[in-house]
Amino acid sequence: MLFEPRISLECPYCDESIYETLSWFKKDYSTCPACEQGLASGQFSVLIANLEKEMAANIEEMVNGQPPTSCCGNKSSCCA
């Protein structure tokens, strides 16, 4: 199953937030569900690029897990 993240971006015409899948915003042409104005993918490309950067950073964090806790250095059993 393909994981399709849903994101919410504001329509440049009516300022309604549109909650759709990433690929929806990447379509060459789509229509705002609120005001039915035509939306070109270029209108969202900068926002999407930022979102994808954020998502990549989040995934990296998930993969790397918790940052390693630094050793207190006080006990010999601590650092093993």
Q: How far is the CB of 30 from Zn ion (least distance, A)?
A: 11
Q: List binders of Zn ion among 10-29 (CB under 5 A).
A: 11, 13-14
The answer to the question of residue 35 lying near Zn ion (CB under 5 A) is: yes
The answer to the question of residue 43 lying near Zn ion (CB under 5 A) is: no
**Structure tokens that stand for 68 in this block:** 């390693």
Report the alpha-carbon distance of residue 52 to residue 56 in Å, rounded.
6
* Chain mean position to CA 41: 16
Q: How far is the CB of 59 from Zn ion (least distance, A)?
A: 30
Spatial contact of 19 and 8, defined as CB atoms under 8 Å apart: yes
Residues in touch with Zn ion (CB under 5 A): 11, 13-14, 32, 34-35
